[in-house]
Chains A and B, each alone.
Chain A
Amino acid sequence: MSRINSPADLENFRKEILSKKDPEKACIAVCTGTGCLALGAANVVAALKKEINKQGLEAKVDIKVDVRETGCPGFCERGPVLVIYPEEICYLQVQPGDAEEIISETIRAKKVIDRLLYVDPATDKKSVRESDIPFYKNQMRLLIGNNIKLDPKSIEDYVAVGGYSALAKALCQSTPEGIVELVKESKLRGRGGAGFPAGKKWEFARNSPGEIKYVVVNADEGDPGAFMDRALLEGNPHSVLEGLTIGAYAIGAHEGYIYVRQEYPLAVENVTIAIRRAEEHGFLGKNILGSGFDFTVKVHRGAGAFVCGEETALLMSLEGKAGEPRARPPYPAVKGLRDKPTNINNVETWANVPLIVNKGAGFLNSIGTEKSKGTKIFSLVGKVKNTGLVEVPMGITLRNIIYDVGGGVPGGKKFKAVQTGGPSGGCIPEEHLDIGVDFDELAKVGAIMGSGGMIVMDEDTCMVDVAKYFLNFLTEESCGKCTPCREGIRQMLKILTNISRGQGKEGDIKLLENLAETTRDASLCALGGSAPNPVLSTIRYFRDEYDAHIRDKKCPAYVCKELIAFYIDPAKCKACMICLRKCPAEAITGGKNQIHVIDQDKCTNCGTCFEVCPSRFSAVRRISGEPVPNAIPEEARTLVRESK
């Protein structure tokens, strides 16, 4: 492939790619993102290819089909996902065994296979097209929408959907200052967590004196359960590269880095390939698109410390030092990588840039709320029917996300809280579900946008346990440099652990609040600054649960093992032997026609008996905050069955 030396070359290249595409040719797009791969997508791809060969489709003139391995479209709950073009038929939970039918029925006979379609659990209605599925219908997928349409390893696929046209427009029709202005006008805010206006950040870096400047992609996504950046970098790496290159041009940088976690091997692979292809085509390197602008990008693999998502720690790590934050100011825009002005943005922020250049600042401005524009990708996980990646316009309510996109809480359970913003985010209760999701509204209710983690919790979640879980994560992931973060989290975790064990004392909540305040206000970086959020937000909305643990030694959600017990109601037990056989601690005695009894000394409170006891008996009771009734005397344990 020859280099693309001008916007006209790019347009010709795009036309050439499109002209080679046969509109009649079917394309089976199989998601091979991490989620679907784990569910066996690679085997599905292999089976489809084998089947195409077996049915001799390669030699046929009338039926043509391609299999394309794509990035993640987001509906991970129902993976492996595939979409058949041009009809856009969406099949879910596809297994290798379905390949024969897909080829012979859908590809050859043009018939839809009903059993692979999405079925709405509420209405039993089937959806054929991806866009008809409620999970997708309620989203606005400006950034991840292309994932299923392209092979992330193919630059041709990206160019075919209009890729690199924004770069051509920026480099050849606009000045660097013009691009900075455009991004400022678009009111794009950083998607990494703090929501700082991207255009302003760019302007600082642009105006900082210095010949050498750098741009960096922060792909050190470390929130448990979050995979927004991963899906973008794996599924559409060129969009991030294009945004980064435009940013470099605007700021005056000629070198860029992508700091990506080592634990994201597919992202590393795909973005490395993307850089190579972009260099070959002249979208990176010297004299990009004939504009005279030079820019190169290197991939740096991070070793996986959560704190390296903090920009100053990331820069330290990039320099080969220990990944510990340093004080700001000076901000990286003034003194960043190797003491040069540096602009760091999150993956998703960069991916927004081509969109703004192509569609204008007004386009982004037209979406969202007054102060938060555009869309936001969330990883919707936890106790929600449709877990996966969702991209929604800013300002959508939490209720919309959880119920319309997410399908609500499964198993008929009651919603309790949604945790946004990763480990240092906050838990939001039912009463605030109608707030519009944006940077400021989430902060008002004691949570944060963070980078877009969203964990739904149901009635079986203990909020003390949740706070403890996140603080346990943070105590390991704090770098340990500054006192308030290292020691504050340690002490808060100790108190929470005591409370969850029934050793809480009066005054503990006040002490937690006191420690939280010091940690929040005195810490060196945002990790410590936001670390108390899980504690403060759970105290704010679920204080009664704290009180129950401290005063009544009761865990209302029956989670904290030290505060609960299981008891078999002798009046209900039918001596079915199920719990007795399943008990991993062998703590249940009994036998055929012998009412079962839990030996409380042996019981580990794992809850297996409670789960396996048939619902028609419901003989196992959870007990918390009250004494366990004495075991029924041995002589009374013989079950008297009612004669039928």
Chain B
Amino acid sequence: MNEIILQIDGRKVQAKEGMTVLQAAQSIGINIPTLCHHEKLESYGACRICIVEAETGGRTRLIAACVYPVEENMAVRTRSEKVDKTRKVLLEELLAHAPDSVPLQALAQEYGADKDRFEKEPSFCVLCGLCVRYCAEVKKINAIGFSDRGAKREISFIPEIASGNCWDCKECFPLCPTSYLQAAYVLIEALMR
């Protein structure tokens, strides 16, 4: 594995080829907020909360730290006006769905996000996909999946699989940043009886 030298928040970091920017930052104790990221799961890059500003080849842009591989001489800024502003809007968009989510509220405070900026559409789920991916990648059961697309996207338990597996597992419950999952399962449970 080749060593790659990059800069994060002005600090020089030695990283290994194939590492993500998030991993490189964590290796020197720099915290980048995440929602959809989980160590046991493949990088997904969906919530975009981990967005950072990166300068590569003379071009500055936003990249998702959890999926973007480190590059030689890359200069990363994990906080900047642009980064903070972007995270703020993303949080406000998610808070419209899950205003009471504890991790979201904590981040909202940090970035000055207004939970009431957008009209509430309480779906409770922020579609981070932790449950779906955990069930597929770690448990290899696929009892929960995404359905539909775009603004109509949602998670749903597949009753035939869920009925035989979920009751004794429930390992995805604590992963859910909005505690919605448990409620969804209880509902499915009730319906399946």
Contacts and interface: CB of A to CB of B under 8 A. Distances in A.
A480 B149 contact: yes
Nearest to A487: B93
A532 to B, nearest CB: 12
Interface string A285-308: 000000000000000000001010
B188 to A, nearest CB: 21
B151 interface: yes
Interface stretch (B26-34, B44-52, B156-164, B172-180): B44-52
Interface stretch (B1-9, B60-68, B105-113): B60-68
Given A305-B149, A327-B68, A477-B149, A482 B86 contact: no
A514 interface: yes
Contacts of B153: 479-481, 486
Interface in A311-330: 322, 326-327, 329-330
B57 interface: no
A10 interface: no
Contacts of A349: none
B127 interface: yes
B166 interface: no
A420 to B, nearest CB: 23
A475 B152 CA distance: 9
B184 interface: no
B93 A483 contact: yes
B93 A480 contact: no
B45 A524 contact: yes
A327 B45 contact: yes
Nearest to A515: B89
A518 interface: yes
A514 B89 contact: yes
Contacts of A393: none
B119 interface: yes
B64 A483 contact: no
A312 B62 CA distance: 19
A522 B90 contact: yes
A491 interface: yes
B94 interface: yes
B168 interface: no
A154 to B, nearest CB: 40
A494 B89 contact: no
A460 interface: no
Contact of B90 (A326, A475, A478, A483): A483
A196 to B, nearest CB: 15
A480 B148 contact: yes
A498 to B, nearest CB: 10
A522 B86 contact: yes
Given A329-B68, A522-B62, A483 B151 contact: no
A192 interface: no
Nearest to A473: B150
Nearest to B126: A483
Interface string A375-412: 00000000000000000000000000000000000000
A480 B150 contact: yes
Interface string B76-93: 000000100110011001
B90 A480 contact: no
Contacts of B67: 327
Contacts of A487: 90, 93-94, 96
Contact of B43 (A305, A327, A476, A477): A327
A477 to B, nearest CB: 6
Given A327-B67, A476-B150, A487-B94, A482 B45 contact: yes
A470 to B, nearest CB: 13
Given A482-B48, A483-B47, A487-B94, A524 B64 contact: yes
Contacts of B69: 329-330
Contacts of B64: 327, 524
**Of A305, A475, A522, most B-chain CB atoms within 10 Å:** A522
Contacts of B167: none
B86 A521 contact: yes
Contacts of A491: 93, 96, 118
Given A329-B69, A491-B93, A524-B64, A486 B151 contact: yes
A521 B83 CA distance: 10
Contacts of B48: 482-484, 522-524
Nearest to B89: A518
**Of A489, A514, A521, most B-chain CB atoms within 10 Å:** A521
Contacts of A523: 48
Nearest to B117: A511
A484 B148 CA distance: 18
A373 to B, nearest CB: 24
Nearest to A307: B149
A330 B67 CA distance: 10
A3 interface: no
Contacts of A524: 45-46, 48, 64
A488 interface: yes
B150 A482 contact: no
Contacts of A322: 146
B127 A518 contact: no
Contacts of A490: 93, 151
B62 A521 contact: yes
Contact of B61 (A475, A476, A484, A521): A521
B60 to A, nearest CB: 11
Contacts of B89: 484, 488, 514-515, 518
**Of A474, A487, A488, most B-chain CB atoms within 10 Å:** A487
Given A515-B89, A522-B62, A524-B64, A478 B150 contact: yes
B119 A482 contact: no
Contacts of B45: 326-327, 482, 524
B112 to A, nearest CB: 14
A306 to B, nearest CB: 10
B94 A518 contact: no
Contacts of A329: 68-69
Given A478-B149, A518-B86, 5 more contacts: A327-B67, A474-B150, A480-B127, A482-B48, A494-B118
11 contacts: A327-B45, A475-B150, A479-B153, A480-B148, A480-B153, A486-B150, A489-B151, A490-B151, A491-B93, A494-B119, A523-B48
Interface of A: 305, 307, 322, 326-327, 329-330, 474-484, 486-491, 493-494, 514-515, 518, 521-524
**Interchain residue pairs A-B with the least CB separation, the first 8:** A480-B153, A487-B93, A327-B67, A478-B150, A518-B89, A327-B45, A490-B151, A475-B151
